[in-house]
């Protein structure tokens, strides 16, 4: 189907696929039904996240919105200075975070709100899976913040522009993507760090597999998988390579239950890659524009994809 604009994000609310468009709206597509556009922002949508029951979006209109599967959209917050909401993140038990400029806002599950200012414009946000702990990427490093604690936030330093951040499922490692074609990794127990290089372009998509044993990443003409199965993680180890192709992996999404990764390429192709043996299944033929969004439903039976030229669809793998 044609979404009407570039698809900048994809999520699932139960069996309803939610495509985040670059301008103003979401497109909600119930299983077996027609797409329904939902107006949310008065301008560009800059960020999105999903907690399974609602899509949180941030826009250049200074608004943070929550949209449910029924299409109802409510205002979570409005920046008093109408600054762009560059990043949003969802956390445990309904916690939310968003950023505007150098400031980060966290709303706890109880509704309490805290504000933190970091040294430069925020590059990315990520909650730990357990506890109210937030990682904030910015220029020259990362700030680790417990919003409910009185202690000072912890700083992890590495020169350069950090544009995305992720905590491992077990909370032992922190990974950032950088402006340069590389990732950076810290082992939090002793702050031992590692440059994760070998990419042809900036890594825009990275996530852990369902078992937490591998970090799957975009940024090369193949899927790159870093090992995290032991106490040292990727320190001193080389990554595994899967699904080589003529064009680069633009975005990827690990299956929520098994060791399979969906890889979307710059030529529009989507492959399903089984990590155990590298077996590939073609889910979408190459087309005219890069894949810009991929998302699995919670059960792993449906895969939503979106592209730069506004093509969107759901691949049903249940049969």
Identify the domain containing residue 113 by its residue range. 86-197
Q: What's the pLDDT at 33?
A: 87
pLDDT at 288 over 90: no
What burial letters (b/e) apply to 54-84, b meaning 16+ CB within 10 Å?
bbbbbbbbbbbbbbbbeeebeebbebeeeeb
- Residue 26 covered by a domain: no
pLDDT at 223 over 70: yes
pLDDT at 85 over 90: yes
> What is the Cα–Cα distance from 245 to 184, expressed in whole angstroms?
25
- Residue 165 covered by a domain: yes
DSSP for 90-147, written as a single string: E-GGG-EEEEETTEEEEE-TTS-EEEEE-SS---EEEE-SSSS-EEEEEEEEEEEE-T
Mark whether 166 and 259 lie in a shared domain: no
CA distance to 32, 70, 186, per residue, from 87 (Å): 32, 24, 22
pLDDT tens sequence across 179-207: 999 999 999 999 999 999 999 999 999 99
Q: What's the pLDDT at 289?
A: 96
Mark whether 275 and 314 lie in a shared domain: yes
> What is the Cα–Cα distance from 127 to 112, expressed in whole angstroms?
16
DSSP for 49-99, written as a single string: EE-SS-EEEEETTSEEEEE-TT--EEEEEE-TT-----EEEE-GGG-EEEE
pLDDT tens sequence across 116-139: 999 999 999 999 998 899 999 999
Q: What's the pLDDT at 319?
A: 67
- Residue 76 covered by a domain: no
- Residue 190 covered by a domain: yes
Mean pLDDT across 67-91: 96
* Count: domains in the chain: 2
> What is the Cα–Cα distance from 42 to 61, expressed in whole angstroms?
6
Contact residues for 32 (Cβ-Cβ < 8 A; gap 6+): none
| Percent residues over pLDDT 70 in the chain | 100
> What is the Cα–Cα distance from 37 to 122, expressed in whole angstroms?
30
CB 101 within 8 A of CB 89: no
Out of 167, 197, 227, pick the residue that ends a domain: 197
Out of 150, 167, 197, pick the residue that ends a domain: 197
> What is the Cα–Cα distance from 139 to 223, expressed in whole angstroms?
27
pLDDT at 298 over 80: yes
Mark whether 177 and 263 lie in a shared domain: no
Mark whether 238 and 294 lie in a shared domain: yes
Q: What is the CATH classification number for the domain harbouring 90?
A: 2.130.10.10
- Residue 281 covered by a domain: yes
pLDDT tens sequence across 51-75: 999 999 999 999 999 999 999 999 9
Q: What are the two backbone dihedrals, phi and then psi, of residue 115, each rounded to the nearest 5 degrees?
A: -130, 140
Neighbours of 140 (CB within 10 A): 14
Using DSSP, state whether 221 is helix, strand or coil: coil
Mean pLDDT across 284-301: 96
Mean pLDDT of the chain: 96
Mark whether 217 and 125 lie in a shared domain: no
- Residue 77 covered by a domain: no
- Residue 15 covered by a domain: no
Q: What's the pLDDT at 243?
A: 97
DSSP annotation of 310 reads: S
Mean pLDDT across 156-163: 97
| Percent residues over pLDDT 90 in the chain | 93
Q: What's the pLDDT at 32?
A: 86
- Residue 292 covered by a domain: yes
> What is the Cα–Cα distance from 273 to 255, expressed in whole angstroms?
10
Q: What is the CATH classification number for the domain harbouring 286?
A: 2.120.10.30
């Amino acid at each position: 189907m044609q979404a009407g604009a570039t698809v900048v994000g994809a999520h699932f609310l139960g069996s309803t696929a939610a495509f985040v468009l670059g301008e103003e709206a979401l497109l909600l597509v119930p299983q077996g039904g027609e797409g329904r556009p939902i107006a949310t922002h008065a301008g560009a949508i800059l960020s999105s996240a999903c907690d399974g029951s609602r899509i949180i979006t941030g826009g250049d209109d200074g608004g943070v919105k929550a949209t449910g599967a029924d299409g109802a959209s409510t205002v979570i917050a409005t920046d008093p200075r109408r600054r762009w909401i560059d990043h949003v993140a969802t956390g445990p038990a309904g916690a939310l975070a968003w950023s505007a400029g150098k400031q980060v806002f966290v709303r706890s599950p109880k509704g309490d709100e805290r504000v933190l200012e970091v040294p430069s414009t925020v590059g990315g946000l990520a909650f730990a899976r357990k506890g109210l702990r937030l990682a904030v990427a910015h220029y020259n490093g990362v700030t680790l913040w417990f919003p409910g604690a009185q202690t000072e936030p912890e700083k992890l330093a590495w020169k350069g522009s950090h544009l995305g951040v992720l905590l491992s499922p077990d909370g032992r490692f922190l990974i950032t993507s950088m402006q340069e074609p590389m990732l950076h990794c810290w082992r939090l127990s002793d702050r031992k760090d590692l440059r994760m290089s070998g990419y042809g372009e900036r890594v825009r998509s990275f996530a852990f597999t369902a078992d937490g044993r591998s970090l799957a990443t975009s940024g090369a003409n193949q899927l790159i998988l870093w090992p995290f199965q032991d106490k040292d993680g990727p320190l001193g180890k080389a990554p595994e390579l899967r699904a080589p192709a003529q064009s680069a992996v633009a975005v990827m999404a690990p299956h929520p239950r098994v060791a399979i990764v969906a890889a979307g390429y710059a030529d529009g192709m989507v492959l399903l890659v089984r990590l155990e043996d590298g077996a590939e299944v073609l889910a979408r033929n190459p087309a005219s524009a890069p894949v810009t969004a991929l998302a699995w439903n919670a059960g792993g039976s449906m895969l939503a994809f979106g592209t730069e030229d506004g093509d969107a669809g759901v691949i049903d793998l249940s049969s």
